[in-house]
Structure formats: C-alpha cells, structure tokens
Amino acid sequence: MARQQQRLSVLQVAKLTKPGLYGDGGGLTLQITTTGAKSWLFRYMVAGQPFGMGLGPTHTVSLAEARQKALDARKQLIEGINPLAARKQIQIEAALARARMMSFDQCAEAYILAHKAGWNNTKHIGQWTSTLKTYASPVFGHLPVAEVDTGLVVKCLSLIWESKTETASRLRGRIESVLGWATTSG
C-alpha cells in the first residue's frame, strides 16, 4: 500500500496546539514547540544521515506553500542534491555578492586604511580623505565600485578641471588608485 500524502488539513493545522511533530506525508512535518510556535519542517535522509530543513512558520507559509516547498526539496533529492546544502550554498553566494557590492566610498576608506601606515605625513592622509570626500563622493561615492566607469570619473573631474587643475590631477590619480585596489581585492 502506498504512503498516504496530505494527511493534514488547514483546519487541523490551525487547531493543533499540543507540542510535537505532525506528519503530512512525503517528509513534510508540522512542528509545534513547547512555547506553541508552529513551523514547517522537511525531514529526509541522505546516506543514512537524518536532516531537518525548516520551511518557515505557519503564520507566513501556508500548508499549500509548505507542500510545494517539500515537493521541490524531494525533486532535488531525486537529482542527488541535498536541499539543505543547496540552500546554504545560495546563502553563501548571496553573502559574497553583497561583499562584492562595496561602494566607492567604502573602498576608498579601506584603501586609505591599508596604505596610511606607509604614508609619513598625516597631512597626506587628510588630503586623500578630503579630496575624495569633497569631489568623488557626491558624484559616485554611494555607487558600487564595480559600477564606476570612465564617464563618471570624467563627470567628477570636469567640475573642477578648469578652476583647480592640480587638485583634479591628484583626484584622478587617487580615484585610479582606489579603483585599482578594488579590482585587485576582488
């Protein structure tokens, strides 16, 4: 006889209050804690090792959504993919993507911090910080460093190129240094 799927109903999920695990079939389980919190759990085995993957609380994830998530996880298992490991990999990739999205201002700050030990003059550190903050930050400081292109640098420099040529030249070199550092730092 085949295993019974979808043993729980929406009404049962709402009425159940006793702490414990209530199976819906296919690895989907309603978990009720001693505090009364209800959440969905997908339980499965890989190479004889048990795993439990949270699918979300019942107030956010409906029974139908939990069944769909469990079905997706079962499909991953058929393909030889551990759903919990796949979820963790996605989270790691998202964290790496966020780390790569450092703004120009953050990169400039990190560059100055990394190089200020080699600079003898504290006035030099102040000049770096001041020129980048005054001229580059308003134009593209908030943007991810990967988005800063030649057009933005030219826009930044064109504002002062005629009136403050020496400052513009130094600013160009400083922007170039920060962008080079960001490229080599990944």
Distance in angstroms (rounded) separating the CA atoms of residues 54 and 52: 7
Distance in angstroms (rounded) separating the CA atoms of residues 27 and 38: 16
More confident residue, 96 or 165: 165
For residue 1, name the pLDDT band (cuts at 50, 70, 90).
very low
CATH number of the domain within which 162 lies: 1.10.150.130
What SS3 state is found at 136? helix
Specify the pTM: 0.57
Condensed to tens digits (0 to 9), the pLDDT of residues 133-151 reads 988 888 888 888 888 888 8
For residue 56, name the pLDDT band (cuts at 50, 70, 90).
very high
Q: Structural domain tally of the chain?
A: 2
Domain that holds residue 138: 104-185
Please state, for a pLDDT cut of 70, what percent of the chain lies above it. Answer: 96
